[in-house]
Amino acid sequence: MNSLEIKNLHANIEGREILKGLNLSLKKGQVHAIMGPNGSGKSTLAKVMAGHPSYEVTAGEVLLDGQNIMELEPDVRARLGLFLAFQYPSEIPGVTIANFIRAALQARLPEGEEIDAVDYYQKLYAKMDLLDMNRAFTARSVNDGFSGGEKKRCEILQMSMLEPSYAVLDETDSGLDIDALRIVSEGVNRMRGPGIGMLVITHYQRLLDHIVPDVVHVMADGQIIRSGGKELALELEERGYDWLLKQESVPAVS
Amino acid sequence: MSIKPELDFEMDNGNFSFPENYAFDAGYGLNEGVVNYICDVKGDPDWVREFRLKALEIFRKKPNPTHWASKDLENIHFDKIRYYLAKGQQAKRNWEDVPDDVKRTFERLGIPEKERKFLAGVEAQFDSEAAYSNMKDALSDQGVIFVGSKEGLDKYPEIFRPWFGKVIPTADNKYSALNSAVFSGGSFIYVPKGVKVKHPLQAYFRINAENFGQFERTLIIADEGAELTYMEGCTAPKFETATLHSAVVELVALKGAKLQYITVQNWSANVFNLVTKRALAMEEAEVKWIDCNIGSRLTMKYPGVILKGRKARGEVISIALANNGQHQDTGAKMIHAADETTSNIVSKSISIGKGRSSYRGLVHIPRHLKGCKNNTECDALLINSDSRTDTYPAITVRGESNSVQHEASVSKVSAEQIFYMQQRGLSEGQAMSLSVNGFVNDLVNQFPMEYSVELKRLIDLEMEGSVG
C-alpha cells in the first residue's frame, strides 16, 4: 500500500515487445527518475501505465496502492489518482483550458454534485500565477497553437489542479528553454510532499538539477538495468549511456 | 470568462405524445378534396384557395430531384400522410386557456419558462395550428405584428399579400409546391421602420400525431432599418412510421434592416425534414441564418439569401449532426444580385456511427457585378470509421472585381485526443462529447446563451451510445 509497484511488466506494440519484464517500486512521498537512451522504452512505460489502447500488456501488473490497474479503462486509472504529463500533449480545439480542467474535476465527483465555480476559478488562478501563466490562458483552447513551453506548463497546471497520488512526467523538459524549465521544475517541486509519488522520465541530466530525485533508475531495452541515488545521474552525464550498457551487456540501441 | 447558467429543461426530451383528439382531420392522402377541406375549415379567401389548388397541380407535375438528391425521398408515401389535424380552436394568448394536453406538451418542452425568462413573444404550434400565441405589449404598441400565418393573411393582407410566395415561388421545388398547397400554421411577423426588437421572438413547432405532415408557412418582413431575431425549435415523438415536415420560410429585409433567424431542430429519427428557407436582402440589409440540424431521418435544407440591394450582406451558419441512419443534407445558397454584396457561409457537420452529412452550397456572382465577396468554410468531423461526409460546392463567380474564398476540411476525432482526455479522468463518452462540442464551439458562441446551453445538451445526448 501507499506505493506504485510495477512487477515484471511486459508490453507489445504491433507484435513487437518493448517492455521486457520491468520492475520498479515508487513510494508516496518519493521522486524517482527514469533515464535511458532513446528507444529504451521510457515513453512506452508511461503510456502502458496510463492504459494507451495501442499497447498490449502480455504479462505483469501495475499495483496502485495495492490494486492492479492493468485491466482498467484509462479514465478509471486517472480517477484512482494516476496522472501522466504527456511528452506530446494533444490539442483539443474549441475546448478551453478552464472548461477542460473543470470537466476533469467534475468527473471525479459523485453524481449530482457540482463544482463550485467561484472556488474553482480562485484555485485555478492561484495555480496559474505560480506557473507564471497569463490568466487569459484559461480562455484558450487546450494546447491549440501552444508553444512547446506553454504545453508543458499547461500539463503541470492540470497536474496541480487534479492533485494525483502518482504522477508520471514524460520528458517534461523536452522543448523547454532554460526559463521555462525553471518555472516548470518549480511547479513540480511545489507539489512534492508525502501525498504524491512522482516518476520523472528524462533523457538528460539537466532536469534533475532542478528536480532532485530520491532514486535514479536507468532503463535500457525494456528493463531497469541499474538503480541508485542521484549521483548515478551525474555519472551517466559524465560517462554516457554506453558505459552502463556495456557493463550490463545490453545491446546498444540507436 | 463567464459561466453559463444551466436552464432546467428536460431534454430527453421530445419523445412523448398525448392521445389524439382532433376536431378536424383531413384524412389520409392528398387531392383537390383535401385542399378544399383545408380551405373550408380555415375559411380561406378565394385567392388563397386558388393559390393552393394551383400549387397542388405543380406539386403533382414536379418530380423529386432524384438526379442529385437522396433516393430516400422515394420512400415518402404521400397517400399515407394526413395533411391537416387541428382541434379547431383559436390560438390562445394565455397559457391557462390552452387545452391541458397541449399545455403539458409545451411545459415539458420548457416553452412557457423560456418565454418568462428571455423571449419577447412566443407562438407554439401543435400539429397544424398554433395553440398559443402571445407577444409583449410594448412590442405591439410599437406596431410589431407577430401572429400566425392565417391571421396574417386575414388581418394584414396589405402587408402579407405583396410578399407571400414572392421570395420562394410555389414552383421552386416539389416541397415548396406541397407546402403551398396545404400550408397551415407558421408565423407572420412585421417589424415597422426603424423598430429594433431587443429580445427574440420564438416559434415552437411540435408534431404530436403519427403519419402526419406539418407544413407551416412563415413570412417575416423587417421594414427599413428594423431589427429582429427570430428563433424556432422543433420536436416530434419517436413514431414507428415516417412523418413529414415541409415548411416554407420567407424573409424580407428592406433597406438597412437586420434579420437573424435561428433554428434548433431536434426531430426524431423518422422525420423527413424538407424545408425551403430563403431571404431577400435589400440595400445594406443583413440577413443571418443560424441553422442547427439534429435528428430526423433525412433533412434537406439550404437556407439562402438573395442579395438584391447594394451592400447587402448574407450569412449562413450551420451545424449538422448525423447519427446512425440519418442523413443531414444541408448547406446554403447565396445569390448575389447587386454590387458590393457580401456573403459568408460557415458549415460544420458531425457524422456519428453510420450517419452521413453532406454540404451542398451554391454561390452565384454574375459577371456584371462589382465588388462582391463570398467566403465559404465547411468543416466535417467524423466520429467513427464508417461515418460519412460529402461536400458539393457549386460556386460560379464571374467578373474581375469579385472574390471568393473557399475552405473545406475533414477531420476525425483522433484516438490520441480521446486517450489524452481519458487520462484526465473523463470517460470515453464524455471525451467524445467534449471534443464534438469543441469542434462547434466557435459557432455556438454566436447563439443566444440559452440556445447554446440547449445545443450542448442535445450534442451530449446524441454522443451517448456513440462509443464502444
Q: Is the pTM of this model over 0.90?
A: no
**Which residues in chain B come in under a pLDDT of 70?**
1-15, 18-19, 465-468
CA gap A216, A33 in Å, rounded: 5
Give the cell for residue A109.
Answer: 465527483
Coil, strand or helix at B156: coil
Residue in this structure with the C-alpha cell 419558462, named with its chain if needed? B113
Asked if residue B105 lies in contact with residue B204, where contact means CB atoms within 8 angstroms, the answer is no
CA dihedral A179, A181, A182, A184 (to 10 degrees): 120
Q: Is residue B440 part of a domain?
A: yes
CA gap B141, B164 in Å, rounded: 25
What pLDDT score does A231 carry?
92
Same structural domain, B437 and B290: no
Point out the residue among B415, B428, B435 whose CB comes nearest to the CB of A92: B435
Coil, strand or helix at A101: helix
Handedness of CA B196, B162, B343, B313 (dihedral sign): negative
Domain that holds residue B289: 24-301
Q: How close A80 comes to chain B (CA, Å)? A: 9
Same structural domain, B294 and B419: no
What pLDDT score does B467 carry?
60
Task: Kindly determine whether residue A107 and residue B430, on different chains, have CB atoms separated by under 8 Å.
Answer: yes
Please give the single-letter amino acid code of residue B143. Answer: G
Please give the single-letter amino acid code of residue A155. Answer: E
CA gap B458, B451 in Å, rounded: 10
Asked if residue B327 lies in contact with residue B300, where contact means CB atoms within 8 angstroms, the answer is no
Contact list in A for residue B437 (CB cut-off 8 A) is: 94-95
Interaxial angle between packed helices A178-191 and A117-130, expressed in degrees from 0 to 180 and rounded to the nearest 10: 130
Q: Is residue B276 part of a domain?
A: yes
Q: Quick one: which H or E segment has residue B432?
A: helix B428-444
Percent of chain A at pLDDT exceeding 70: 98
Q: Is residue B216 part of a domain?
A: yes
| For residues A179-189, average pLDDT | 91
Q: Is residue B394 part of a domain?
A: no
What pLDDT score does A242 carry?
85
Point out the residue among B415, B424, B442 whose CB comes nearest to the CB of A158: B424
What pLDDT score does A228 carry?
94
Of B301, B331, B359, the one marking the end of a domain is: B301
Asked if residue B240 lies in contact with residue B208, where contact means CB atoms within 8 angstroms, the answer is no
Of B301, B326, B355, the one marking the end of a domain is: B301
Please give the single-letter amino acid code of residue B467. Answer: V
B258 vs B33, B225, B248, B326, B436, CA distance in Å?
Answer: 41, 7, 20, 34, 31
Q: Is residue B360 part of a domain?
A: no
CA gap B41, B25 in Å, rounded: 10
Of B276, B301, B326, the one marking the end of a domain is: B301
Task: Tally the domains of chain B.
Answer: 2
What pLDDT score does B3 carry?
37
Q: Is B3 on the interface with A (CB under 8 A)?
A: yes
Label residue A251 by pLDDT band (50, 70, 90). Answer: low
Q: Is residue B387 part of a domain?
A: no
Asked if residue A151 lies in contact with residue A184, where contact means CB atoms within 8 angstroms, the answer is no
Q: Is residue B36 part of a domain?
A: yes
Q: Any idea what DSSP says for residue A91?
A: P
CA gap B299, B325 in Å, rounded: 12
Which residue, among A32, A85, A12, A31, has the nearest Cα to A218 in the 3D structure? Answer: A32
Residue in this structure with the C-alpha cell 526559463, named with its chain if needed? A179
CA gap A98, B254 in Å, rounded: 43
Q: Is residue B214 part of a domain?
A: yes
Contact list in A for residue B422 (CB cut-off 8 A) is: 51, 73-75, 78
Point out the residue among B414, B426, B441 whose CB comes nearest to the CB of A94: B441
Looking at every residue in chain A, the average pLDDT score rounds to: 93
Interaxial angle between packed helices A117-130 and A148-162, expressed in degrees from 0 to 180 and rounded to the nearest 10: 130
Residue B186: phi and psi, rounded to 5, are 90, 175
Q: Any idea what DSSP says for residue B82?
A: B
Q: What is the DSSP string of B198-258?
A: -SPEEEEEE--STTBEE--EEEEEE-TT-EEEEEEEEE----SS-EEE--EEEEEE-TT-E
Mutate to test the interface with A, among B423, B437, B452, B463 (most CBs of A within 10 A): B423
Contact list in B for residue A49 (CB cut-off 8 A) is: none
Q: Domains along chain A?
A: 3-247 (3.40.50.300)
Point out the residue among B1, B421, B422 whose CB comes nearest to the CB of A92: B421
Give the cell for residue A235.
Answer: 555519472
CA gap A113, B372 in Å, rounded: 53
Long-range (24+ apart) CB contacts under 8 A made by A53-56 are A53/B415, A53/B419, A54/A13, A54/B415, A55/A11, A55/A12, A55/A13, A55/A18, A56/A11, A56/A12, A56/A13
CA dihedral A219, A221, A224, A230 (to 10 degrees): -20
Beta bridge partners of B322: B351
Label residue A25 by pLDDT band (50, 70, 90). Answer: very high
What pLDDT score does B131 carry?
82
Which residue, among B362, B283, B349, B282, has the nearest Cα to B322 in the 3D structure? Answer: B349
Which residue, among B450, B339, B442, B330, has the nearest Cα to B390 in the 3D structure? Answer: B330
Contact list in A for residue B431 (CB cut-off 8 A) is: 75
Asked if residue A166 lies in contact with residue A82, where contact means CB atoms within 8 angstroms, the answer is yes
CA gap B14, B288 in Å, rounded: 27
- For residue B272, the number of C-alpha atoms closer than 13 Å in the C-beta half-sphere is 21
CA gap B378, B369 in Å, rounded: 25
Q: Any idea what DSSP says for residue B120?
A: S
Best-predicted range by mean pLDDT (A33-42, A233-242, B122-131, B389-398): A33-42
Asked if residue B429 lies in contact with residue B462, where contact means CB atoms within 8 angstroms, the answer is no
Q: How close A57 comes to chain B (CA, Å)? A: 17
Contact list in A for residue B3 (CB cut-off 8 A) is: 117
Q: Is B434 on the interface with A (CB under 8 A)?
A: yes
